[in-house]
A = this chain, B = another copy of it.
């Protein structure tokens, strides 16, 4: 009788471990592929993409809500702060650090959590409704970097793809989330509508350079925040596997 119970328990244990390990193998392969897809995006190896690949929906959700996203934000912010500390902003107040807003200073994760974490194709109307609530929380490692560069004496310039009509709600949201003392907040004017982000942001950086600013640092979650012309001395790509803006 004792031997029987022992065997039964051992059998159950084996079954449990076996089913656990076979689930892990198939999901591990998908996880590896989706990890490779995410890293390819961060390294700017992917072409334009419209939505998260269907097989990666669970992976992206786990990444965004788990430790991975935070760890990635953390190291980018620390590397940027370390670079900033090697610089000596000049007394003329023309050394600038640019920050993008969405997924850089403010997190729209509450919105994306309700919309498949990037699995759904981007819906401007619904997203605007969310923006107009002004409830996006701060991305904490970015807030830390923001304060660091201000304290070091940089001028902070905010350059966002949001529209001028969202200026007031954006200002309120930023202030409520803890951001302050920026030098300029640049939003898309009616003239900028329809321009690709990489062109719009390059033009605005070119204006900054014409105004005498030296762009030493630039933080953004899209490569279109960072590449183009009048680029920063160093650029910092924050993680974002949820959407791609060309």
Binding site for B on A (CB under 8 A): 1-2, 5-6, 9, 13, 28-29, 32-33, 35-40, 42-47, 67-68, 71-72, 74-76, 79-80, 82-83, 235-237, 239
Q: Given the known A-B contacts A36-B75, A75-B37, are A47 and B83 also in contact in the complex, defined by CB atoms under 8 Å?
A: yes
Nearest B residue to A10 by beta-carbon distance?
A: B9
Question: Is there contact, CB below 8 Å, between A72 and B2?
Answer: no
Chain B residue numbers with a CB within 8 Å of A72 are 36, 39-40
Chain B residue numbers with a CB within 8 Å of A40 are 72, 75-76, 79
Docked pose: A228 CA to B67 CA in angstroms:
34
Chain B residue numbers with a CB within 8 Å of A74 are 36
Nearest B residue to A235 by beta-carbon distance?
A: B44
Q: List 7 A-B contacts (CB under 8 A).
A: A1-B2, A5-B5, A33-B71, A39-B42, A42-B42, A43-B239, A44-B237
Q: How far is the CB of A68 from chain B (nearest CB, A)?
A: 6
Nearest B residue to A223 by beta-carbon distance?
A: B43
Chain B residue numbers with a CB within 8 Å of A1 are 2
Docked pose: A46 CA to B236 CA in angstroms:
9
Docked pose: A72 CA to B83 CA in angstroms:
28
Q: Given the known A-B contacts A42-B42, A43-B42, A237-B43, are A32 and B2 also in contact in the complex, defined by CB atoms under 8 Å?
A: no
Q: How far is the CB of A16 from chain B (nearest CB, A)?
A: 10
Question: Is there contact, CB below 8 Å, between A68 and B236?
Answer: no
| Of B9, B36, B68, B80, the contact of A35 (CB 8 Å cutoff) | B68
Q: Other than the known A5-B6, A45-B80, what 10 A-B pairs have Cβ atoms closer than 8 Å?
A: A6-B9, A32-B71, A33-B71, A36-B71, A36-B72, A40-B79, A43-B44, A43-B239, A44-B235, A47-B82
Q: How far is the CB of A227 from chain B (nearest CB, A)?
A: 10
Chain B residue numbers with a CB within 8 Å of A76 are 40, 43, 45
Q: How far is the CB of A223 from chain B (nearest CB, A)?
A: 9
Q: How far is the CB of A86 from chain B (nearest CB, A)?
A: 9
Chain B residue numbers with a CB within 8 Å of A47 are 79, 82-83
